[in-house]
Amino acid sequence: MPDGPATVLVVDDTPTKLYILSSWLRRSGHEVLQATGGVEALGKVRDLRPDLVVLDVRLPDMSGYEVCERIKADKATSSIPVIQISGAAITPADRTQGLERGADAYLAEPVEPDEFAATVEATLRYYRARQRAERMADRLATLTEVTLEMNSADTFEALLSTAVEGASRILGRRAGALAIPPDGRTRRFAVMPPSTVAVSRAVAPDLLRRIGAMSLGNAAGTQVFTAPADEWLKMMPDAGVDDGGSATAVFCRTKVGRPPVCLGVYAAPPLDPDETNILRQLGQALALTADALRAYAEEHAIALTLQRSLLPARIPETPGLEISWRYQPAVDNIEVGGDFYEVLRLGDQVLLAIGDVQGHSLLAATVMAELRHALRASLLGPVDLGASMALLNNVLRCYHQRMTATVCLVLIDPATGEMEIANAGHIPPLLIGGETRYHGLGNLLLGVADETYRVDRLTLGEEESVLMFTDGLIEDRDKLLDESLEIVRSMAEASDEGLEPFCDRLIRQFGAREDDVALVAFRRTKTA
């Protein structure tokens, strides 16, 4: 209900009194509706929602007290103010009853025109202030919800959709938003009521720069500005701004040199100060969230680059051995992890290793790199898997006393199939052949205590395979580890495909993971 003239419903069954009250209200500039009974009045209140009801206490079909109670009992009409007026019920008890049953003011006749006008204006003033406060409270609550939804967005598309849908929902206007994700291609989304769903719109590459020239330029900060429809339509012909109208937008840049964001709404009628403040706050929240999301994406890309730089650049080709490998980073983790794999040619033999250093951090990646280099150094002389494992254990215990790691080493001669296995707390390798089974458990994980690492010896037949993987592949909070291990075993036992499609199917089976995944599979091929 805006300030100024109001729509007032006058309810009285006396024609003369109805005429006089209506005349006084029209003289003050208000629009007047009339009713002569309680049922008629309730219908008009429900359908027309007047700004104020002036209600006679004595009506032919029901009392004004009951009409007032029904108006106040309905959630849809409870905020409409009611002034009761009577020439018969004029005692203090009558006035008390009227106020206790919901009236906002009570006048006893005879009433002077000035007193009546002043009472009407005072009642309207109070309720307009109350409605503004309630409307602002609702908008601020929605703003909080939208800001939380924006902070939960994991893509720029979701972020802009949430921001523009929120602006349209809070302000009830057409809205649009622009931002630049890390790929440098400006994204634009818009909402055109009555639709509440944001849709992607075409955008010129220099659109944000042109909008910035109308406000902040290249400076940092926040600026709200209004542009006529013709200027806005030159930049965005499909903006939905009517000729003669305008658009109000907030342009934000958190720091000099960072990409800006812009959030705008259709400004006909013009935004009031409260609406402008809401738009400013929502634009600032969008800018901060966009910066955080952009930083997350950049850090994630750096983390992946670093992680992959610490893994083998290539796997050596080995006659008599088909090898497949996979590395899949955690879907929501920007930090580097400690999962690793290694494949080394050692004369006629091949060493395959897989391991997992605890944690996700730069330290975990550093320790992982140290273990890989220590493992390679231990293999420069005579190959002894037990001695190599003991060396890795000593490296952790001497230089990283609070770190642990699991490692599994497999040494195989492709020509004969003779194979050695040493395992320090890692998931046992899966032997895929006549009987698909996990090899027995090994020794303690690295970094816990002094340990003598056992080396098991067995022979891998032709066309038989071995699968080694880190626990990130199968660990789920709502499933026992043994259940997931059995899923892998069953898939391997039933597989009649090559290693590459099998590894792809295995990754798809468990989907996006909360932890890094490394796996190495190898098959001994038939000799010529």
Q: Which residues pair with 419 in a beta bridge?
A: 412, 458
d(CA 425, CA 422): 10
Q: What pLDDT score does 331 carry?
A: 62
Between residues 121 and 317, the one the model is more confident about: 121
For residues 237 and 274, is the Cβ–Cβ distance under 8 A?
no
Statement: residue 255 has pLDDT above 70: yes
Q: Which residues pair with 344 in a beta bridge?
A: 351
For residues 116 and 86, is the Cβ–Cβ distance under 8 A?
no
Q: What pLDDT score does 202 carry?
A: 81
d(CA 167, CA 285): 12
d(CA 418, CA 348): 11
d(CA 188, CA 292): 18
Between residues 55 and 338, the one the model is more confident about: 55
Q: Could you read off the pLDDT of 232-248 as tens digits, one per residue?
A: 888 887 777 776 678 89
Name the residue among 510, 462, 460 with its Cα closest to residue 485: 510
- 487 C-beta neighbours (distance < 10 Å), count: 15
**In the predicted model, what is the mean pLDDT of residues 392-403?**
93
Q: Could you read off the pLDDT of 182-217 as tens digits, one per residue?
A: 888 888 898 887 888 888 888 888 888 888 888 888
Name the residue among 335, 444, 429 with its Cα closest to residue 392: 444
SS3 label, residue 485: helix
The first and second tokens of residue 197, run together, are 């769903």
Element (H, E) at 218: none
For residues 167 and 199, is the Cβ–Cβ distance under 8 A?
no
Q: Could you read off the pLDDT of 77-128 as tens digits, one per residue?
A: 998 999 999 877 778 888 888 899 999 999 988 889 999 999 999 999 988 8
Q: What pLDDT score does 304 carry?
A: 66
- Domains within the chain, CATH numbers bracketed: 7-135 (3.40.50.2300), 153-302 (3.30.450.40), 310-524 (3.60.40.10)
Q: What pLDDT score does 1 carry?
A: 43
Local confidence band at 227 (pLDDT 50, 70, 90 cut-offs): confident
Statement: residue 514 has pLDDT above 80: no
Local confidence band at 294 (pLDDT 50, 70, 90 cut-offs): confident
d(CA 172, CA 168): 5
Name the residue among 240, 338, 368, 324 with its Cα closest to residue 499: 324
Q: What pLDDT score does 403 carry?
A: 92
pLDDT > 90: percent of the chain = 55
SS3 label, residue 526: coil
For the chain, counts of helices (H) and of strands (E): 13, 21
Q: What pLDDT score does 415 carry?
A: 93
What is the phi/psi pair of residue 200, to 5°? -75, 140
What is the phi/psi pair of residue 157, to 5°? -60, -45
Q: Which residues pair with 105 in a beta bridge?
A: 83
Measured at the CA of 35, the angle between CA 29 and CA 37, to 5 degrees, comes to: 150
pLDDT > 70: percent of the chain = 95
For residues 470 and 427, is the Cβ–Cβ distance under 8 A?
yes
Q: Could you read off the pLDDT of 421-466 as tens digits, one per residue?
A: 999 999 999 999 888 999 988 899 999 999 999 999 999 999 999 9
Q: What pLDDT score does 367 carry?
A: 87
Cβ burial, residue 494 (10 Å; 0-12/13-18/19+): exposed
Q: What pLDDT score does 95 carry?
A: 84
Q: What pLDDT score does 335 carry?
A: 59
Cβ burial, residue 60 (10 Å; 0-12/13-18/19+): exposed
Q: Could you read off the pLDDT of 330-376 as tens digits, one per residue?
A: 765 555 677 888 999 999 999 999 999 988 777 888 888 889 899 99
d(CA 460, CA 432): 9
- 501 C-beta neighbours (distance < 10 Å), count: 11
SS3 label, residue 515: coil
Between residues 301 and 152, the one the model is more confident about: 152
d(CA 354, CA 340): 6
